[in-house]
């Protein structure tokens, strides 16, 4: 494989300061592939926390960093033991190939060196919609629990009508479970429902939900959700929370409430949603609302984080190789 590969990448130098930089990439090994990225998505959850500096500390955290975990591109070089071939379109959930610049999560770049076992081949027909597969896998994992939940208890209330909330609602309806109620406090996000209803929480008087999935990321919401549970009901924390969560014990005690944290998606979840999306069973339309050239990344990130009408911003890297 060719050596001394370089890339153009979004680099978050410190909170609220990012730009496009030229970086050298790690030399690829026999089990690596080189991917020329076509599109990458901007996460309004974890990436916003990195951008604002609100991300809790964890191993590997620090600046400068390359964000992004929703990248789609073509394999241009494939090591003999990578398991992939040149020309494949693949989904890349991030990379760590930037030397001293951290990869958190390392997908927002024009070219990536990544182990072949980490990426997933996708059909050409999905196009830029393939950037949504990570969120789809997150939604799938939250409900299925990595195949460990039997029987599956689908959400009958979803809190938040962003991309993750919409995918949860779509999967619930398409699986022929009863249509969930969805809460959102932003009127601009109450549209786009298909087969379920979206309402402001103040309009909802129901207090016997069996399964509430929170994708809002609001660390102050637990008491409000517990008060809406049926006895023995469950709150699933499927968002990402920058502050400690706490709740009042007596209401949870009286309802014998269960609280579950949905972990990161696993490869099996990605394979499942890839099949659903490629077969057309899981529609991904209407979720990508904004586009920008990678060279305009500063404006794109600000828009993604500040514009409530922006569900998913996609960066186009095809002119930034």
> If pLDDT is split at 50, 70 and 90, which confidence band does 195 have?
very high
What pLDDT, in 10s, does the model give residues 266-319? 999 999 999 999 999 999 999 999 999 999 999 999 999 999 999 999 999 998
Q: Which CATH number fits domain 135-261: 3.40.50.1100, 3.40.50.720, 3.10.20.600, 2.60.40.3080?
A: 3.40.50.720
Question: Stretch 154-167: mean pLDDT, rounded?
Answer: 97
The structural domains of the chain, with segments of one domain joined by +, span 6-121+289-316, 135-261
- Average pLDDT of the chain is 94
Tell me the C-alpha to C-alpha distance, in Å, between residue 270 and each of 96, 130, 132, 165: 20, 11, 11, 17
| CATH architecture under which domain 6-121+289-316 falls | Alpha-Beta Complex (3.90)
Give me the pLDDT at residue 138, please: 95
Cross-strand bridge partners of residue 21 = 9
Distance between CA 94 and CA 60 in Å, rounded?
Answer: 14
The token pair at 32 is: 């690596």
> If pLDDT is split at 50, 70 and 90, which confidence band does 148 have?
low
CA torsion through residues 68, 72, 78, 84, sign:
positive
> Same topology for domains 6-121+289-316 and 135-261, yes or no?
no
CA torsion through residues 175, 148, 159, 269, sign:
negative
CA 199 from centroid of its chain's CA atoms = 23
Give me the pLDDT at residue 57, please: 78
Give me the pLDDT at residue 263, please: 84
Strand runs labelled E in 30-150:
32-42, 65-66, 71-78, 89-92, 102-103, 111-115, 120-121
Report pTM: 0.94
Cross-strand bridge partners of residue 275 = none
């Amino acid at each position: 494989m060719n050596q001394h590969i370089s890339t153009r990448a979004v680099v978050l130098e410190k909170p609220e300061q990012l730009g496009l930089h030229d970086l050298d990439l790690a030399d690829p090994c026999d089990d690596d592939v080189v991917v020329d990225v076509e599109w990458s998505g901007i996460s309004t959850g974890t990436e916003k926390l990195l951008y604002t500096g609100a991300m809790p500390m964890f191993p590997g955290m620090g600046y400068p960093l390359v964000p992004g975990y929703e990248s789609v591109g073509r394999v241009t070089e494939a090591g003999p033991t990578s398991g992939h071939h040149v020309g494949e379109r693949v989904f890349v959930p991030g990379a760590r190939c930037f030397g001293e610049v951290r990869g958190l999560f390392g997908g927002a770049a024009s070219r990536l060196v990544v182990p072949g076992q980490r990426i997933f081949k996708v059909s050409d027909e999905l196009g830029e919609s393939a950037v949504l597969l990570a969120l789809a896998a997150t939604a799938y994992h939250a409900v299925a629990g990595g195949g460990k939940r039997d029987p599956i208890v689908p959400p009958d209330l979803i809190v938040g009508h962003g991309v993750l909330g919409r995918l949860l609602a779509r999967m619930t309806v398409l699986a022929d479970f009863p249509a969930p109620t969805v809460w959102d406090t932003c009127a601009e996000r109450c549209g786009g429902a298909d087969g379920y209803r979206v309402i402001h929480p103040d309009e909802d008087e129901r207090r016997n939900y069996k399964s509430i999935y929170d994708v809002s990321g609001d660390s102050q919401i637990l008491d409000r959700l517990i008060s809406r549970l049926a006895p023995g009901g469950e709150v699933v924390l499927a968002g990402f929370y920058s502050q400690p969560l706490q709740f009042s014990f007596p209401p949870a005690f009286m309802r014998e409430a269960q609280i579950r944290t949905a972990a990161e998606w696993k490869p099996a979840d990605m394979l499942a949603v890839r099949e659903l999306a490629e077969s057309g069973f899981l529609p991904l339309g209407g979720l990508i609302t904004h586009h920008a050239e990678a060279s305009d990344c500063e404006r794109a990130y600000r828009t993604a984080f500040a514009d409530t009408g922006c569900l998913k911003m996609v960066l186009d890297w095809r002119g930034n190789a």
